[in-house]
Structure 1
Amino acid sequence: MTTTSVGSIDLAPSRASGLRFSDRRKLFLVALALPAILYVVLVAVWPLAQGIWYSFFDYNLLRGGGRRTFVGLDNYIALWADATARRAVINTFLFTFGAVTLEFVIGLGLALLLWRDGRFNRICLAFLLIPVTITPIVVGLIFRALLAVDYGFFGYYLAEWGISGPRGFLANTTTALPVVILIDVWEWTPLVALILLAGLKSLPTDILEAAAADGATALQRFRMVVLPLLLPTVFLALVLRVMDAFRVFDIIFVTTGGGPADATTSLMLYGVKQGLEFFNIGFASAIGNLTILCIALMCAVFTLLIRRADVRANER
């Protein structure tokens, strides 16, 4: 092989590494992704695997010097035998479906109202996003103060007028969970509306104009054109909110603490109490795994429903 040199610079192709350019490029990309992969493994995969492993042990930090005893599925059997755990499962499903349903319906209505570009709509959208910028703990503290019977801006008058009772809505076993759901709706409906509004903005205008030219009414255009094209965005909004609502903790923790009489106890709140208050790591791990399993099943159901609706819309 002939080499050409200019001064002391060798212009011959280097073979020292023994790797082609494509191989070196792949190694470079792997090196770039390695920190992110390590982060995901350390922060997500390893704790998840550890939680699954601990759920098969009788592991309590306050008993036996923290020794672990393999018990198999006893923690899961005890979970279903525990009345508080069963109540927490019911409360979590009620909270999730109640909050997500209201957020989707109201969010879709707001998105349709803000669909057209205009200065007024942009101003409304800016104010609408204010609740999303507040952390859930602060939102819970604000509403707990507003609904307090002795000094709350709303709670005092509601109690005086006999609407909420002498102890307020949050201290009533019948109204505590619906009020917590409404607090979550107040905070996260703007996010759902923003996601759906982004989907509406991306719809092809020529199809809508053609449907209007064919004489389709606004309701027909929404049902036969807008909604089928919006299904991927609907799927995204529902999955994000279901995943977040099912593991609700902060709002309930600061407003009711799971009470009164476990009326608002969620799976996540019960798991945190078992793990950080009673140090029952094995039982708390079983609760966490049950939460993850329920979220995965609900997301799978949403995926199946959206795919079937998409197939039906494409067949028309």
Structure 2
Amino acid sequence: MPSLTLTHEQGQRIFLLLMALPGLLYVIAIGVWPLLQGFWYSFWDYNLIRPNRTSFVGLDNYIKVFSDRTARAAVFNTFQFTFATVSLQLIIGFALALLLWRDSRFNRIMLALVLIPVTMTPILVGLVFKALLNADFGVVGYFLRAAGIGPEGGLLSDGSVALWVLIAIDCWHWSPMMALILLAGLKSLPPDVLEAARTDGANAWQRLRLVILPLMLPSVFLAVILRGMDAFRVFDTPFVTTGGGPANATNTMMLLAVKEGLQFFNVGYASAIANIATVYMAIMAAILVLFIRRADVRANVK
């Protein structure tokens, strides 16, 4: 019987596979399996209160997401929150990146200070701002009410402005991260191209519009993808500040899914909401990646 012998390359591949196997099993157990399980539950009328009365409903849970008034409002709020936060954070982050572009000791110190909000968890940020904006004892909310600015119950109690307050909180929290990504893109720009534009007589605005921005497109799209996907699945801050209120004005898709699954135990409907949110994020990421590739092709052709 011939003996099984392995070459050095084959043995190395098997060794690397065995080393990666625990991580792969962890990803399957923690990420892939719950995702597949949620996809399966979304086709069933499955409620933890009555687990023995489960029935197959097909696409009814998905249809309910678009026919239910609360769910439609959550979808609209999620898109509005995502578009507003990413747009504002892109502007603020790019402005901060330009201010911190010059490599100096002062800018390095300022960058470290600017990044402090990013080190805080979203739940902590939400609790801090909820306390600050409280109309009864909050440092900000009390004086706003005393000055007659905003509603009597505080800014978070008004359905017309509560979502925009959450948008402002998210901008304070994550604009430094956007600035860090864009700053890395600025520092990777070829200095000879910028020096050539300066030599040709281009002023600061012309260099920004004609040289810096076109070269920064890959970094901009990367920042938009990362922040867009993170903003679309926002849950922590609305949960601890408003709980989706008042009158569902700050309800988001992830918050609604958690409410349906953990508060009303409607696992099938909650899974459908989460799956739709996942599809939305995948579509947005695919569109942005397509834009990145096109921008990269144009840059290489030129």
Are positions 1:157 and 2:143 aligned together? Answer: yes
Give CA-to-partner distance per residue, 1:36-57, whole Å, 9 cap, x none: 1111111111111111111001
Whether the aligned pair in 2 keeps the contact of 1:89 and 1:267 (CA below 8 Å) is yes
Per-residue deviation at 1:162?
1.3
Q: Deviations over 1:199-257 (max 9, x none)?
A: 11111111111111122222222222222222221121111101110000010011111
Matching residue of 2:16? 29
Shift of 1:169: 0.7
**How do 1:13-52 residues align onto structure 2 when only pairs under 5 Å count?**
17-52=4-39
Q: Of the candidates 228, 253, 256, which is equivalent to residue 242 of structure 2? A: 256
Aligned CA-pair RMSD: 1.4
Identify the range of structure 1 (118-127 vs 83-92) with the bigger mean alpha-carbon deviation: 118-127
TM-score, scaled to structure 2: 0.96
Amino acid across the alignment from 2:154 = G
Q: Give the match for residue 45 of structure 2.
A: 58
Aligned with 1:300 (options 276, 279, 286): 286
Q: Cα deviation per residue 1:118-163 (whole Å; 9 max; x = unaligned)?
A: 1111111111011001111111011011110011111011111111
For the Cα contact (< 8 Å) 1:228–1:310, is it kept in 2? no
8 Å contact 1:59–1:282 — kept in the other structure?
yes
> Taking structure 1 as the reference length, what is the TM-score of the superposition?
0.92
The gaps in structure 2 that reach 5 residues or longer are none
Paired residue type of 1:290: I
In the alignment, what sits opposite 1:223?
A: 209
Alpha-carbon distance in structure 2 between the residues aligned to 1:314 and 1:225? 14
Give 2:146's aligned amino acid: E
Relative distance call for 1:310 and 1:274 in structure 2 (3 A) is: same
Identify unmatched segments of 5+ residues in structure 1.
Answer: 1-14
Contact 2:48 2:265 in 1 (8 A): yes
- C-alpha distance in 2 between matches for 1:149 and 1:66: 47
Is 1:212 aligned with 2:198?
A: yes
Paired residues in the alignment total: 301
Among the aligned pairs, what percent are the same residue? 60
Counterpart secondary structure, 2:79:
helix
Give the aligned partner of residue 219 of structure 2.
Answer: 233
